[in-house]
């Protein structure tokens, strides 16, 4: 076993952009952050396991996701450091200075995209729209629809003649929007397609999960990318009952003649791993579940909740419709105890216990409980665990590697020929 990659096999877990200056004893009160990098360039080069506290002087949201958002947008980390150099210490997205700082480059790139479109330069237009989308994404507030980010991302793909196909799903009188994407290659023109439903993290937009969709589409999967409840274009409330969204998606898959309803799996990133696991277990259409760094059972227990980092507890509290500045942490923790998989599935069926679950994370995880895989295995679930020995939450430094592992794991369990 190497330090770089440590895995265990058993037979039998987005970061929110939220500023919360919390008073003593509130839900957002917590232990100060660990080491911080001096710049985004340094952080992205060495990774969150090296600098678990994020970037020095910056808001806690400068911890996860942003490195690969920059990469996807074609923006160098040092360029981003120049932009954020104008921010006051510990500024947050709700402040006018933050909004103005990121609106300026967003508007500049949007104008470049408009000019490139008029000139017929679709490649330049798409690249500029991606950059504009990134900077507008930095301005969003949890539980508010970020129309500018979504629109710019969709324009970036439309400019290349690869539009993101919007699908409207409805359940319980509420609507949520997903992107359907066909695979880039097919083994047979007449063969029905295996399908992977992809769910992002807490406050991750579906636009942020396109790199995941791109990869699995390259391996032959049709993908449906959706958002967590209370995020982006998902009107459902953030609660375990929202697992019914997977029932609506399952109905849609079964209605399409080009999709193979016998080969469908669900993939959840960070908090999305929770609903992916719960929804994937509850609906028989889904034959396998992938949980990348997400909570499921022990993370929602008070033992972990009471010591979780304050910067993530604040958005958890907000998504529970509580004020992170005034809500006692114990109150918030008691609320989330009902989310535990062991409470939601008190008497699992034989099929649920046998359904394969892949859990991927880094050994330096500091957001969810490190006991998640063993907790599910102890409950009798069929868990495979992949742990990277030099990485943190969601093993982002090894994303491409665990994409490969996950695709191969899914293809075996869904009997997909590459």
φ, ψ at 347 (rounded to 5°): -130, 85
φ, ψ at 307 (rounded to 5°): -120, 5
- Report the chain's mean pLDDT, rounded to a whole number: 88
DSSP 27: T
The answer to whether residues 205 and 142 touch, using CB atoms and an 8 Å cutoff, is no
In the chain, CATH 3.40.50.1820 sits at 6-10+163-413
What distance in Å separates the CA atoms of residue 363 and residue 390, rounded to the nearest whole number? 7
The arithmetic mean of pLDDT across residues 13-25, rounded, is 33
φ, ψ at 360 (rounded to 5°): -120, 135
Query: Which has the higher per-residue pLDDT, 27 or 203?
Result: 203
CATH number for the 6-10+163-413 domain, one of 1.20.120.1730, 3.40.50.1820, 3.40.50.2000, 3.90.1150.10? 3.40.50.1820
**pLDDT for the residue numbered 29:** 52
pLDDT tens digit string along 120-143? 999 999 999 999 999 999 998 877
Above 60 in pLDDT, residue 278?
yes
**pLDDT for the residue numbered 63:** 79
Token pair in block for residue 182: 């066909």
- Decide: residue 192, CB within 10 A, 0-12 exposed, 13-18 middle, 19+ buried: middle
Token pair in block for residue 40: 């985004």
Give the model's confidence band at 70: pLDDT under 50 very low, under 70 low, under 90 confident, else very high.
very high
pLDDT tens digit string along 373-407? 999 999 999 999 999 998 989 999 899 999 999 99
Q: Give the residue from 94, 92, 60, 66 showing the smallest Cα distance to 79.
A: 66
**pLDDT for the residue numbered 56:** 87
In the chain, CATH 1.20.1440 sits at 40-155
Above 80 in pLDDT, residue 10?
no
CATH number for the 40-155 domain, one of 1.20.1440, 1.10.10, 1.10.760, 1.10.150? 1.20.1440
pLDDT tens digit string along 44-57? 998 888 888 889 88
The answer to whether residues 327 and 317 touch, using CB atoms and an 8 Å cutoff, is yes
pLDDT tens digit string along 78-104? 999 999 998 888 888 889 999 999 999
pTM of the model: 0.90
DSSP 209: G
Give the model's confidence band at 22: pLDDT under 50 very low, under 70 low, under 90 confident, else very high.
very low
The arithmetic mean of pLDDT across residues 228-256, rounded, is 96
Choose the weakest-confidence range: 142-146, 257-261, 272-276, 329-333.
142-146
Give Cβ neighbours of residue 384 (< 8 Å, ≥ 6 apart).
9, 10, 356, 357, 358, 359, 409
User: How is the beta sheet containing 286-292 ordered, strand by strand?
Assistant: 6-9, 382-388, 356-362, 286-292, 259-269, 193-199, 222-226, 174-181, 165-171
What distance in Å separates the CA atoms of residue 125 and residue 139, rounded to the nearest whole number? 22
Above 80 in pLDDT, residue 263?
yes
Query: Which has the higher per-residue pLDDT, 62 or 159?
Result: 159
The arithmetic mean of pLDDT across residues 310-318, rounded, is 85
Above 90 in pLDDT, residue 7?
no
DSSP 237: -
Above 60 in pLDDT, residue 27?
no
**pLDDT for the residue numbered 283:** 98
Query: Which has the higher per-residue pLDDT, 262 or 30?
Result: 262
**pLDDT for the residue numbered 217:** 95
**pLDDT for the residue numbered 52:** 81
Give the model's confidence band at 187: pLDDT under 50 very low, under 70 low, under 90 confident, else very high.
low
**pLDDT for the residue numbered 3:** 37
Highest mean pLDDT among 28-32, 118-122, 413-417: 118-122
DSSP lists the bridge partners of residue 286 as 264
**pLDDT for the residue numbered 326:** 93
HEC sequence for 79-111 = HHHHHHCCCCCCCCCCCHHHHHHHHHHHHHHHH
């Amino acid at each position: 076993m190497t330090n770089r990659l440590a895995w265990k096999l058993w037979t039998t877990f987005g970061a929110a952009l939220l500023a919360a200056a919390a008073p003593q004893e509130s839900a957002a009160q917590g232990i100060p952050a660990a080491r911080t990098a001096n710049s985004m360039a340094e952080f992205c080069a060495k990774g969150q396991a090296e600098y678990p506290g994020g970037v020095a002087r910056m808001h806690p949201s400068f911890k996860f996701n942003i490195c690969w958002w920059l990469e996807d947008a074609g923006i160098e980390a040092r360029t981003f450091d120049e932009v954020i150099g104008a921010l006051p210490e510990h500024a947050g997205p709700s402040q006018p200075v933050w909004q103005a700082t990121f609106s300026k480059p967003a508007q500049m790139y949007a104008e470049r995209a408009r000019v490139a479109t008029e000139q017929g330069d679709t490649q330049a237009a798409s690249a500029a729209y991606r950059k504009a989308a990134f900077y507008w994404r930095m301005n969003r507030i949890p539980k508010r629809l970020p129309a500018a980010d979504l629109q710019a991302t969709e324009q970036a793909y439309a400019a290349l003649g690869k539009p993101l196909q919007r699908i409207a799903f409805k359940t319980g009188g509420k609507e949520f929007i997903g992107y359907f994407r066909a695979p880039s290659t097919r083994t047979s023109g007449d063969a029905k397609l295996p399908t992977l439903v992809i769910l992002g993290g807490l406050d991750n937009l579906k636009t942020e999960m396109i790199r995941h969709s791109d990869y699995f589409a390259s391996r032959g999967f049709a993908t449906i990318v959706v958002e967590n409840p209370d995020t982006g274009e998902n009107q459902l409330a953030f609660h375990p009952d929202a697992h019914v969204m997977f029932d609506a998606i399952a109905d849609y898959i079964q209605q399409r003649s080009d999709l193979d309803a016998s080969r469908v799996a669900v993939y959840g990133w960070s908090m999305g791993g929770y609903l992916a696991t719960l929804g994937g277990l509850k609906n028989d259409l889904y034959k396998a579940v992938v949980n990348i760094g997400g909570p499921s059972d022990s993370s929602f227990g008070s033992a972990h909740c009471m010591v979780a980092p304050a910067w993530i507890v604040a958005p958890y509290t907000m998504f529970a419709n509580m004020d992170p500045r005034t809500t006692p942490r114990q109150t918030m923790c008691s609320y989330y105890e009902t989310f535990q998989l062991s409470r939601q599935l008190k008497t699992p069926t034989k099929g649920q216990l046998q359904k394969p679950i892949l859990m991927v994370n880094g050994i330096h995880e500091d957001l969810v409980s490190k006991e998640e895989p063993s907790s599910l295995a102890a409950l009798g679930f069929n868990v495979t665990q992949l742990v990277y020995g030099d990485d943190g939450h969601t093993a982002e430094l090894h994303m491409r590697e665990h994409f490969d592992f996950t695709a191969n794991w899914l293809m075996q369990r869904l009997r997909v020929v590459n």
